[in-house]
Amino acid sequence: MSMHLPVRPVWTCAGCGQAWPCLTRKRQLLAEFAGARVSLMLYLSRFFVEACVDMPAITSGTMYRRFFTWPYEPSDGRHSNESAPPER
């Protein structure tokens, strides 16, 4: 079990004190949900909603970027269509 869990209501990481999800937890989640990106996004949705309730002063756009854009950012410097968000 990861020590990098959110501390509510401030949503910092219990393991390292950074904003949650921290870099370590992001890496863990990518490994845990490898090949299951939709499941990862559904999992993150739960935390997104809870964080929005806990921190109403933070804009929804900021919260969206915090919870939903990082899984699509290349982690190794390479760009890949596989990691890009679906186009609309």
Q: Give the model's pLDDT for residue 2.
A: 78
For the cut 50, the answer to whether the pLDDT of residue 84 exceeds it is: no
- What secondary structure letter does DSSP report for 19? B
- Residue 78 pLDDT more than 50? no
Provide the pLDDT for residue 31.
95
Is residue 35 scored above 80 in pLDDT?
yes
Query: Pick the residue with more confidence: 73 or 18?
Result: 18
For CA atoms 47, 43, 21, 5, the dihedral sign is: positive
Which residue is associated with the tokens 């921290």?
A: 22
| Host H or E run for residue 5 | none
Q: What is the mean pLDDT of the chain?
A: 87
Residue with the two structure tokens 């756009």: 61
* Bond prior to 85 in cis (omega within 30° of 0): no
Give residue 65's pLDDT: 95
Taking residues 59-84, report their average pLDDT: 73
